[in-house]
Structure 1
Amino acid sequence: MIYKTDMKRWLDLVLSIIGLLLFLPIILIIMILIKLDSQGPVYFKQRRIGKNKKEFYILKFRTMRIDTPHDIPTNLLLNPDKYITRVGRFLRKSSLDEFPQIINILKGEMSIVGPRPALWNQYDLLEERDKYGANEVTPGLTGWAQINGRDELPIDVKAKLDGEYVKNISFAFDFKVFFFTIAKVLTSNGVKEGRSHSKSL
């Protein structure tokens, strides 16, 4: 209980600060490459649903052109390839586009591990998560559903896995999710683009 209410937040802060300092050179290089590769801002902001359904703006490195339709998951785009930039393709495949969410974690809007924050208009996912109390916890950079299928999961299965995480929150479980996330990122398992290929939310 102490972990869920206090220790988890302090661990998020400490690890986020360490990660920010450790990867700062890489972050700066990515920012330069994005600016050289395509027109537009370095960061991409998107409305997401946080703890207790409070809205916030998630941060990512921009991986798509500025004329890409907003608030539409990439898996629903007919031809995502025409929107994804050259640098963006690498960032998405390696999940390096998620780096700026360290800022969301520092602000307390996200945790390192938790259910991935839904888009504001993913009403079906939010409704399913209500059944398991998954909308009542801080969303994460990675989560139990992400290491068990990611984009390949149907909404009801994803929500059920988020519910399993809520019931089992602990230091050991978070460590397990984090460890397996690294393995997933290295193999790109579960990542798709477009209606036949999509990027995880």
Structure 2
Amino acid sequence: MIRLFDIVFSLLGLVCGFPLLVLIAVIGMFDTGSPIFCQVRVGRQQKAFTLVKFRTMKVDTASVATHLASSASITPFGGFLRKTKLDELPQLWNVLKGDMSLVGPRPGLFNQQDLTAARAARGVYDVRPGITGLAQVSEIDMSTPELLAETDQKMIQSFSVKDYFRYILLTVSGKGSGDRVKS
């Protein structure tokens, strides 16, 4: 059932949001010269997949977890995209392809060994990663790997269709701070 919702909503989002996606890409081209950001992330069953987002940081920024990046790397337009969560829109493509779900544990990087180990121990990789979830609306980010893995496990164990829509609505309404960047 959840996969069906993912397909329908991601397809609708990509089709209806196409003009906005194009506009953000054009503005992003002037902002960074490269509006799309692709990064290999840890997916379901710990398989690699390429996550697609709008670029919010300078092109030469190191590929590290967001909480390890410097806020000086975020462009002014990137700050707006992060605040409004519009930088996440291209991930609808990842959802449509089946790499991700709209709701699930945020996918980490392969160089986040503590997080990967904590999640593996808790069975978090048994499900598709998501754009949002309990940790995001609870403002828990990847800087606390054990707490994040515990929260992801809690979400998975009690997950329902009601939760699916609740986490999406909380995210759209601005709950959660998104990925935090050090100052």
Q: TM-score range by the shorter chain?
A: over 0.9
2:52 paired with 1:59: yes
Gaps of 5+ in 2: none
For 1:1-21, what per-residue CA distance to the aligned partner results, in whole angstroms no more than 9, with x for missing partners?
xxxxxx111110001111112
Give the TM-score taking structure 1 as reference length. 0.84
Task: State the secondary structure of the residue aligned to 1:184.
Answer: coil
Give the TM-score taking structure 2 as reference length. 0.92
- Residue 46 of structure 1 corresponds to 39
Equivalent of residue 22 in structure 2, options 5, 28, 32: 28
Work out the number of aligned pairs and report it: 183
| Aligned-residue CA RMSD (Å) | 1.7
After TM superposition, give the deviation of residue 152 of structure 1 in Å.
8.0
Higher radius of gyration, 1 or 2: 1
CA distance in 2, matches of 1:95, 1:144: 16
CA contact (8 A) 1:134 1:166 kept: yes
Equivalent of residue 114 in structure 1, options 82, 87, 104: 104
- Residue 80 of structure 1 corresponds to 71
After TM superposition, give the deviation of residue 80 of structure 1 in Å.
2.7
After TM superposition, give the deviation of residue 166 of structure 1 in Å.
1.3
CA contact (8 A) 1:63 1:85 kept: yes
Change (3 A) 1:90 1:69: same
Equivalent of residue 189 in structure 1, options 151, 171, 177: 177
CA distance in 2, matches of 1:153, 1:172: 28
CA contact (8 A) 1:74 1:80 kept: no
2:8 paired with 1:14: yes
Change (3 A) 1:189 1:88: closer
For 1:87-146, what per-residue CA distance to the aligned partner results, in whole angstroms no more than 9, with x for missing partners?
111111111111100110111000000011111111111111123211111000101111
Identity across the alignment (%):
38
Change (3 A) 1:130 1:190: same
